[in-house]
Amino acid sequence: MPIRFLIRFVLLTLGFALTTLGILAWQQMNFDLNTLWPIAAEFSAHPVYAMVLGLALIPPTLWEIFVLETRHHREH
């Protein structure tokens, strides 16, 4: 059980880190959206992609933590 919690908390930390990285990197680009679509210029990863991935990781990971915590309390 502790390993499952560790994995979930690492995923949660990764989600927040990616979100923060995406916002900071996008701010360095002055919130430019010109290179957001791959067909607009050469293919490069836009910081919004990291931000979206980070935001997508947070809710399901939090849900899994709550489910694991509920199961843990029911067993004891």
The total number of structural domains that make up the chain: 1
Q: Model's pTM, two decimal places?
A: 0.83
5-9, 12-16, 33-37, 72-76 — most confident range: 12-16
Residue 13, domain extent:
2-75
Q: How far apart are CA 27 and CA 14, in angstroms?
A: 20
Nearest to 11 by CA among 67, 66, 60: 60
Q: How far apart are CA 6 and CA 2, in angstroms?
A: 6
Q: What are the respective helix, strand and coil percentages of the chain, to the nearest 5?
A: 75, 0, 25
For 31-49, write each residue's pLDDT tens digit.
988 878 767 666 678 899 9
